[in-house]
Structure 1
Amino acid sequence: MKATILNLAIAASLGSTAIAQPHRHGHQVYHQKRDNAIHEKRDVVTTYVPATVTQYMLGSQVVSPEDAQAGLDKGLYVVIGETTPSFSSPPAPAPTSTSSKEDGIFIEKVTTSSSSSSSSSSSTPPPSTTTSTTSSTPTPEPTKSSYPVSSGAKGIDADFPDGEIDCTSFPSDYGAVALDYLGMGGWSGLQYTPNFSLKDLAISFIETGTTSPAGQTGFYSYACPDGYVKSQWPSAQGSTGQSIGGLYCNSQGKLELTRGDVSKKLCEQGIPGITIKNKMGSGTSVCRTDYPGTENMVIPIDVTAGGSFQLANVASDNYYVWQGKATTLQYYVNKKGVNAEDGCRWTCASDPLGCGNWAPINIGVGQDSSGTTYLSIFPNSAVSTAKLDFDIDISGDSSIECYYHVGEGFAGGSSSGCTTGIPQGGSVTITFSE
């Protein structure tokens, strides 16, 4: 049964007022970052609040989240894109500032792709780094994760043997973390491109795999350990805005590096300095979007009770650049008791409208060109009405108070979230507590 393309459009909002982004109706819809954020001046205590509004489009018709989910469960729809939003980077404010400031927001705009005679479902369900740090950057606490660095003889710091490993073999010996629970042979995302040539500047035909691959040509994306991000994606990206990531499976059935001129390793450590601590008596999960790639929220941190975990951060200008624009990382925070295997997927069985893509809270993070990291907590109100059942507090070298408390909401009484700045070399702890 051929699935219908279900488009996922994203618009930005300031406070409670949604600012709809223009889009053209077509076969597919993808995300485009705007060069300049939309600002609104208000005389309020300064906080930097990101928020997103999501809309499902089937051709020119709006589809409700409930109908979209029903269609996905029945295999009638394939979803195009939710991309990691880009940060605007306002100066880090003083915690007591009361002057009029411009809101810093996530902003996205959608574009459409044109259908071709050979078009198929270029699907990306549904929101990463070459970074450098200075000697003043603190060493993060060891990660205590159920998804450890590979214990193979080669390890995460070994160069990947370009063009030697079969596409049917997952490269865990080189630091990649197999996500077996997704049923795709350990891969976090599969984007088959049978018509792709290394000479192509853009990729026009993409078919997203949903089962274990049998060596089809295309791009095979993968997860890295906590605190790390993948280092491989092709310079050629989707011709209509799709992000593509991972190793390339060539016509000989061998895996090739896609950024071998930049890095010969599969994973690189993100910018240290952000640690999650779980002080609860139960675990939860935090799931990053696979970006660039299928953009599904499947990159897991299994936040077990009492543990400490690194949250990956990237230098946005030096990591994946989308159509000339810097990008950031986005995480989904599930309720307590939801482990990574259940919660780090599009739909989770334990709470279909409250975890996975419908998780109650998002975290966004990225470092700008000045070295300041912007760390945001905001509700996933675009698609979810679920409420997080534990507190989130940010402490350490942060410029302004930012938290979420059950029954209270976000810092400053906001319902839309909060953003804080972290200076270069600084560190913060994100504490989960009951």
Structure 2
Amino acid sequence: MKTIMNLAIAASLGSVAIAQPHRHGHHAHHQKRDNSPLEQREVVTTYIPATVTQYMLGDQQVTPEEAQAGLDKGLYVVDGVFIEKVTSSSSSTPTPTPSTTSTPEPTTSSTSEPKTTQSTSYPVSSGAKGIDADFPDGEIDCTTFPSDYGALALDYLNLGGWSGLQYTPSYSLVDLAISFIETGVSKPAGQKGFYSYACPAGYVKSQWPSSQGSTGQSIGGLYCNDKGKLELTRGDVTKKLCEKGIQGITIKNKMSSGTSVCRTDYPGTENMVIPIDATAGSTSVLANVASDNYYVWQGKATTLQYYVNKKGVNAEKGCRWVCDEDPKGCGNWAPVNIGVGESSDGITYLSIFPNSAVSTAVLDFNIDISGDNSIECYYHVGEGFAGSSQGCTTGIPSGGSVTITFSD
């Protein structure tokens, strides 16, 4: 099977922004998870295709039609990469964000109808421990969501607060590759496997195993062991569940209506469920990571990817794979993606680009990036993206800051 890479070219920077796929957010290695057409993957798929606009097979560019034909026949898989600086537009050394496989072991993606509280801030739980407390390794039951330690419960997904569930009944701690992964679609009852979670705005998950799926799936979260207790998966690195991302990027919604921005649960199921509820007049922190020091997929650095929904689509409705509000225009089919990651030279690369790999939806409000960005980068209704229909990428120097403004 051949691998196709999606590239979003930032000509004005003289670099390639590799757009990462749904899962996540990172130097995405997004591959087709099954051989069924995209429409049939709405409910059953855990793997999401990369979202970019230029397709490379090895060092050769292929047309979107050729790429899609190969994907539909199961001949190719998508290596969706998110944002990373490279020396030329023909060769890339991106910040990887891998995830997926063409035919993963039994996996199903949850599309359950949620019920959640609408909140702009999604505050850390009121538990006595807090986000800075060490997690008690191996002491808490798998049926207890660890909100006391800063994890953000996503009740609307009906997964017991978890952002994603990957059951691995045959997993052993010595396994570097996991051959059987079943994605949970309802509240867990203590099944053995990995339980992924969200963190508050501006924070990112800090627990994931070194093991990955045998076909390239990313895996994230705490581990529910055979005793029914939750274990840290990076306890040798940190005993905390959430870590603060790199500061300097905020979203300001100047519209009279709200919207939502949804990050992929990566590493993990890579569904776009980590919420920012950008209510009217609100300001929110957009998490960013140093790609070389965050999740590594098959030896590659990774970045973060966000999905931007239309006006009026709040986080509860839009931060999920399938969005009943507008099935072909939000959730996995949201019209615009944002990708972000800090490279080894200390520069953060920030991209906005169309989710054209799977969606034909059109965003109904403007996005402008202002502040310490190196070049102009925006999306304007009726005009499109700055510089290219494929999107735009700008750089932010170390210690710099920018505001991403949503406006009518």
Looking at structure 2, the residues matched to 234 and 58 of structure 1 have their Cα atoms a distance apart, in angstroms, of 24
Partner residue in 1 for 2:47: 80
Match of 2:107 among 122, 134, 145: 122
Looking at structure 1, the residues matched to 344 and 325 of structure 2 have their Cα atoms a distance apart, in angstroms, of 41
Match of 1:176 among 151, 172, 176: 151
Compared CA separation, residues 248 and 55, structure 1 to 2 (3 A): closer
Does 1:12 find its partner at 2:17?
no
Does 1:429 find its partner at 2:396?
no
1:336 aligned partner, one-letter code: K
Deviations 1:190-213 (A, max 9, x none): 000111111222211111100000
Asked if structure 2 preserves the Cα contact closer than 8 Å seen for 1:125 and 1:294, the reply is: no
Looking at structure 2, the residues matched to 112 and 306 of structure 1 have their Cα atoms a distance apart, in angstroms, of 40
Query: How many angstroms does 1:246 deviate by?
Result: 0.2
Query: How many angstroms does 1:111 deviate by?
Result: 8.2
> Match of 2:345, SS?
coil
Deviations 1:124-163 (A, max 9, x none): 689xxxxxxxxxxxxxxxxx93311222111000000111
Compared CA separation, residues 14 and 362, structure 1 to 2 (3 A): closer
Compared CA separation, residues 326 and 156, structure 1 to 2 (3 A): same
Asked if structure 1 preserves the Cα contact closer than 8 Å seen for 2:18 and 2:82, the reply is: no
Partner residue in 2 for 1:236: 211
Does 1:417 find its partner at 2:353?
no
2:83 aligned partner, one-letter code: F
> Match of 2:156, SS?
helix
> Match of 1:322, SS?
coil
2:401 aligned partner, one-letter code: S
Partner residue in 2 for 1:321: 296
Deviations 1:203-255 (A, max 9, x none): 11111100000000000000000000000001111122110000000111110
Partner residue in 2 for 1:370: 345
Compared CA separation, residues 49 and 256, structure 1 to 2 (3 A): closer
Compared CA separation, residues 179 and 325, structure 1 to 2 (3 A): same
Query: How many angstroms does 1:45 deviate by?
Result: 8.4
Compared CA separation, residues 350 and 396, structure 1 to 2 (3 A): same
Looking at structure 2, the residues matched to 358 and 114 of structure 1 have their Cα atoms a distance apart, in angstroms, of 22
Q: Considering only aligned residues, what root-mean-square deviation do their CA atoms show, in Å?
A: 2.9
Looking at structure 2, the residues matched to 312 and 338 of structure 1 have their Cα atoms a distance apart, in angstroms, of 21
Looking at structure 1, the residues matched to 97 and 132 of structure 2 have their Cα atoms a distance apart, in angstroms, of 35
Looking at structure 2, the residues matched to 190 and 47 of structure 1 have their Cα atoms a distance apart, in angstroms, of 36
Partner residue in 1 for 2:71: none
Q: Percent identity?
A: 71
1:199 aligned partner, one-letter code: V
Looking at structure 1, the residues matched to 255 and 49 of structure 2 have their Cα atoms a distance apart, in angstroms, of 30
Matching of residues 299-310 of structure 1 within 5 Å? 299-310=274-285
1:87 aligned partner, one-letter code: I
2:162 aligned partner, one-letter code: W
Larger radius of gyration: 1
Deviations 1:373-426 (A, max 9, x none): 0000000011111110000000000001000000000112x1110000000000
> Match of 1:87, SS?
coil
Asked if structure 2 preserves the Cα contact closer than 8 Å seen for 1:89 and 1:104, the reply is: no
Deviations 1:246-299 (A, max 9, x none): 000011111010000101000000000000000000110000000000000000
Looking at structure 1, the residues matched to 386 and 206 of structure 2 have their Cα atoms a distance apart, in angstroms, of 35
> Match of 2:45, SS?
strand
| TM superposition outliers: structure 1 runs of 4+ over 2 Å | 44-59, 65-69, 77-88, 101-115, 122-126
Compared CA separation, residues 285 and 205, structure 1 to 2 (3 A): same
Does 1:337 find its partner at 2:312?
yes
2:175 aligned partner, one-letter code: D
Compared CA separation, residues 148 and 112, structure 1 to 2 (3 A): closer
> Match of 1:234, SS?
coil
Looking at structure 1, the residues matched to 99 and 295 of structure 2 have their Cα atoms a distance apart, in angstroms, of 19
Asked if structure 1 preserves the Cα contact closer than 8 Å seen for 2:203 and 2:287, the reply is: yes
Looking at structure 1, the residues matched to 275 and 400 of structure 2 have their Cα atoms a distance apart, in angstroms, of 25
Deviations 1:87-110 (A, max 9, x none): 33147xxxxxxxxx6479778999
Query: How many angstroms does 1:315 deviate by?
Result: 0.3
> Match of 1:195, SS?
coil
Asked if structure 1 preserves the Cα contact closer than 8 Å seen for 2:33 and 2:100, the reply is: no
Runs (5+) with no aligned partner, structure 1: 1-6, 16-38, 92-100, 127-143
TM-score (norm 2): 0.81
Deviations 1:299-325 (A, max 9, x none): 000001101100000000000000110
Does 1:396 find its partner at 2:381?
no
Matching of residues 250-329 of structure 1 within 5 Å? 250-329=225-304
1:80 aligned partner, one-letter code: Y
Looking at structure 1, the residues matched to 286 and 125 of structure 2 have their Cα atoms a distance apart, in angstroms, of 18
Looking at structure 2, the residues matched to 264 and 381 of structure 1 have their Cα atoms a distance apart, in angstroms, of 39
2:394 aligned partner, one-letter code: T
Asked if structure 1 preserves the Cα contact closer than 8 Å seen for 2:262 and 2:274, the reply is: yes
Asked if structure 2 preserves the Cα contact closer than 8 Å seen for 1:315 and 1:368, the reply is: yes
Asked if structure 1 preserves the Cα contact closer than 8 Å seen for 2:123 and 2:152, the reply is: yes
Looking at structure 1, the residues matched to 140 and 20 of structure 2 have their Cα atoms a distance apart, in angstroms, of 41
Query: How many angstroms does 1:122 deviate by?
Result: 3.3
Query: How many angstroms does 1:349 deviate by?
Result: 1.0
Compared CA separation, residues 47 and 406, structure 1 to 2 (3 A): farther
